[in-house]
Amino acid sequence: MKSLSLRLLAIIILFLFNKSMIAQSANNAPTFNFSRGIGIAVPDSSFSLNFRFRSQLRAGYVSNSTSDLSASEIEARVRRLRMRIEGFMINPKINYSIQLSFSRGDMDWVDNDNSAVNSSPNVVRDAVVIYRPNSNWSFTFGQTKLPGNRQRVVSSGELQFTDRSIVNATFNIDRDFGAQFSYQNSISTIGYALKGALTSGEGRNSSASDAGLAYTGRVEILPLGTFTNKGDYFEGDLEREKKPKISIAGGYHYNENAMRTAGTLGRDLYEKRNISSLMMDVLFKYKGFALCGEFISRNTNDPVTVNSSNQTRVVYVGDGKMMQLSYLFKNNMEVAGRYAIVTPKSSIYNSELQRQEMGIGVTKYLKKHRVKLQGQLFYHQNDNLQTESVVNKYYSCVFQVELGL
pLDDT exceeds 70 at position 7: no
Confidence of residue 106 (pLDDT cuts 50, 70, 90): confident
Each residue's pLDDT tens digit, 350-404? 999 999 999 999 999 999 999 999 999 999 999 999 999 999 999 999 999 999 9
As a whole number, mean pLDDT of residues 153-170 equals: 97
pLDDT of residue 18: 56
The CA distance from 107 to 142, in Å, is 18
Query: In sequence order, which residues have a C-beta less than 8 Å from that of residue 301 and are 6 or more positions away?
Result: 273, 274
Q: How far apart are the first and last CA of the chain?
A: 24
Domain that holds residue 394: 2-404
Confidence of residue 26 (pLDDT cuts 50, 70, 90): very low
Of 258, 257, 254, nearest to 276 (Cα)?
Answer: 254
- The dihedrals phi and psi of 152, each to the nearest 5 degrees, come to -80, -40
pLDDT of residue 5: 54
pLDDT of residue 23: 47
Confidence of residue 105 (pLDDT cuts 50, 70, 90): confident
Give the three-class secondary structure for 156.
Answer: helix
Each residue's pLDDT tens digit, 208-264? 788 899 999 999 999 999 999 999 999 999 999 999 999 999 999 999 999 999 999
* % of the chain with per-residue pLDDT over 70: 91
pTM: predicted TM-score of the whole model, two decimal places: 0.90
When divided into structural domains, the chain yields a total of: 1
pLDDT exceeds 80 at position 164: yes
The CA distance from 71 to 61, in Å, is 7
How would you class 48 by CB atoms within 10 Å of its CB: exposed for 0-12, middle for 13-18, buried for 19 or more? buried
The CA distance from 76 to 60, in Å, is 6
Each residue's pLDDT tens digit, 125-135? 999 999 999 99
Give the mean pLDDT of the chain.
91
Residue with the bigger pLDDT between 290 and 207: it is 290
The DSSP code for 34 is: -
The answer to whether 118 and 268 are in contact (CB under 8 A) is yes
Each residue's pLDDT tens digit, 279-306? 999 999 999 999 999 999 999 999 999 9
Hey, which bits of 89-174 come out as E strands? 94-101, 124-131, 137-145
Each residue's pLDDT tens digit, 46-104? 899 999 999 999 999 999 999 999 999 999 999 999 999 999 999 999 999 999 999 98
- The dihedrals phi and psi of 102, each to the nearest 5 degrees, come to -125, -10
Can you give the three-state secondary structure of 268-319, one letter per residue?
EEEEEEEEEEEEEEEEEEECCEEEEEEEEEEECCCCEEECCCCCEEECCCEE
The answer to whether 262 and 185 are in contact (CB under 8 A) is no
Strands 38-41 and 389-404, bridge-based pairing: unpaired
As a whole number, mean pLDDT of residues 109-118 equals: 68
CATH number reported for the structural domain that contains residue 80 in this entry:
2.40.160.10
Hey, which bits of 71-110 come out as E strands? 71-88, 94-101
The helix or strand, by DSSP H or E, that contains position 64, with its residue range, turns out to be none
Give the three-class secondary structure for 246.
Answer: strand
Strands 318-328 and 312-314, bridge-based pairing: unpaired
pLDDT of residue 376: 98
